Amino acid sequence: MSEIVKHLTTEQVIEVKRQMEIYRQGVQDIIPMEELEQKVAKSVLENRPLKIKLGLDPSAPDVHLGHTVVLKKMKQFQENGHMIQLLIGDFTGKIGDPTGKSVARKPLTDKEVKYNAKTYFEQFGKVVDMDKVELHYNSEWLSKLSFEEVIQLAGKITVARLMERDDFEERMALGKPISLHEFFYPLMQGYDSVVLDCDIELGGTDQHFNVLMGRHFQEKLGKEKQVAILMPLLEGLDGVEKMSKSKKNYIGIDESPQEMYGKAMSIPDELMNKYFDLITDFSPGQIETVKRELETGELHPRDAKMLLGKTIVRMYHGPAAAEKAEQHFVSVFQQGVIPEEIPEIEWQGEMEKTIIDLLVDLKLLNSKSEARRMIENRGVKVNGTKVEDTSSRITITNDLIIQVGKRKFLKIKI
């Protein structure tokens, strides 16, 4: 706190330390730590909220637990009176994919951008208080830049500095093309922070380079530099890749209680601690207890996972839904019985069918060959009894229950 500390009362010093402890929790990196403390101290001294920026890619509005790692951090700042600036990179969205993964990523239309922003807004509301959030679209200022202004800005950064970005360096080394327009992505992200006068920018560790661009351009343009707070990336259900929609390894915060709970149960054991840390609303003390009990064996990993699943459902659907999802899981998966509520279908076909035709007719499986394989793998039950023969013929009766795999049920109504 250096200089500022002299001006603080003891209570204010305690308040700064209290806030810092919260902000440090679960982060991967704060760059630089001293400046964050100075900013918090100044905010306490002057009773002025800090401006916390979070940039959002408007092309992928499905919010999953991976996003909530940063949202949780955002919420902590919000709860301490600071101002959240959500920045929809709508202008940025008009550039193709700078990661080089999908070179032909289509530019978004204005309509898509607005729709996606709305979707974010609704989903974020489940984690943070959206009434206390400033919403910005960077097209507001970026679309107004003239070529001359762009050149002035480009004159404030070197090619070598831009090439330091991991993926640029890698692609250059591999001889993979980098289009010149991709150099603008970090430049724009940095300029957004200049325009918004951000004190802090939040992001995943994969945003390290881009977030530091804000500091770079703020300094070059004579402003106070923002602090970078980088959160760890959450691996998805596969336990390997970063949780993302495209990898299909995610738990969406809009998913049904049963889906959420079921998916939570498939998280690898070794990621349990990280999930408790990063995506639950547990206090540091509660998290410590879970970790310790897992370590000593007091808590069985399966039970820890059930606690995690229940917690996630509670956070996004409330306690009653959490209770019910747990009961559902226990009855279906652990006790192997048929759940209370299962979807019904009115039968209008022949009253006798081969099991293969029946599975395809009911659209429980997509093809006869899939149906055959599922039966051979002992994954099909009729009224709770495994079907062992692929040539079995089934007589249709009222309330006949067909089960495919662990979680797909259908009740036939005549």
Binding site for a second copy (CB under 8 A): 91, 94-96, 142-152, 154-160, 162-163, 168, 172, 175, 177-184, 187
| Shortest distance, position 188 Cβ to a second copy, whole Å | 9
Q: How do beta strands 344-346 and 408-413 pair?
A: parallel
Cα–Cα distance between 140 and 404 in angstroms, integer?
52
Residue closer to a second copy by CB (options 154, 401) is 154
Q: At what angle do helices 301-317 and 319-329 cross, to 10 degrees?
A: 140
Residue closer to a second copy by CB (options 18, 176) is 176
Per the rule left: phi > 0, alpha: psi between -120 and 50, beta: everything else, 239 is: left
| Shortest distance, position 217 Cβ to a second copy, whole Å | 12
- Look at the alpha carbons of 227, 167, 187, 152 in this order and tell me if their dihedral is positive or negative: positive
Residue closer to a second copy by CB (options 123, 139) is 139
| Shortest distance, position 184 Cβ to a second copy, whole Å | 6
Cα–Cα distance between 227 and 262 in angstroms, integer?
38
Say how far residue 52 (Cα) sits from the centre of its chain. 19
Residue closer to a second copy by CB (options 105, 114) is 105
| Shortest distance, position 361 Cβ to a second copy, whole Å | 50
Q: Which amino acid is at 123?
A: Q
| Shortest distance, position 141 Cβ to a second copy, whole Å | 10
- Residue identified by tokens 């040539």 is 391
Nearest CA to 325 out of 260, 266, 371 is that of 260
Residue closer to a second copy by CB (options 161, 248) is 161
Nearest CA to 119 out of 132, 106, 130 is that of 130
Beta-carbon neighbour count of residue 378 at 10 Å? 10
Q: Which amino acid is at 302?
A: R
| Shortest distance, position 163 Cβ to a second copy, whole Å | 8
Residue closer to a second copy by CB (options 68, 92) is 92
Residues in contact with 215: Cβ distance below 8 Å, sequence separation at least 6, in sequence order: 31, 190, 193, 225, 226, 228
Q: Find out whether 245 is annotated in a ligand binding site.
A: yes
The annotation places the binding site at 245
The annotation places the binding site for ATP at 245
